[in-house]
Amino acid sequence: MTSLEFTDQVQKISYSLKPVAMNLTRDADDAKDLVQETLLKAMLNKDKFKTGTNLKAWLYTIMRNTFINNYNKITKRNSNIDSTEYFQYFNTDENYITHNGASSDFVVTDINAAIAGLSADYRTPFMMYYIGYKYLEIAEKLQIPIGTVKNRIHIARKELKQALKTYAPGV
């Protein structure tokens, strides 16, 4: 299928995308944005479309996935979880409980020093993952392959484990 044929077919189908987008977003402006983003992604990825498959279904899948990804981003960034009740169980090992908090201050200082001791190539993806970014989001933000992101996070964990092995009881 040539680029011109693909564009022509996508343009014909694009009119049927708006009602579906309206159903997903329940807002006219958001629906227009969703259709536009879907068409943009379809054009950018036209080489991934296999001739003979259902173009309309392919576009609907792109739209649905785009909507879900956008929804997840919005809800993830807008959610505030009150986890204060869980902090009472954090570090309840007898080695870390003190009345004046000095031991826990040393642990936090050592953890921060170990993280600061990581190379920036490893520290950045590790900290992004730690605060809640997904591998794919990290890869997009840092503009590196997802495999590289996973490898750097793995290496950062190994280095931190080695640097903080004095705090591993029984190892």
Tell me the domains of the chain and their CATH numbers.
1-79 (1.10.1740.10), 103-170 (1.10.10.10)
109: Cα separation from own chain's centroid: 28
Percent helix, percent strand, percent coil in the chain, to nearest 5: 75, 0, 25
Contacts of 30 (CB under 8 A, 6+ apart): 21
pLDDT averaged over the chain? Answer: 84
**pTM of this structure:** 0.47
Q: Of 73, 72, 45, 55, nearest to 17 (Cα)?
A: 55
pLDDT in tens, 4-29: 988 999 999 999 999 999 999 999 99
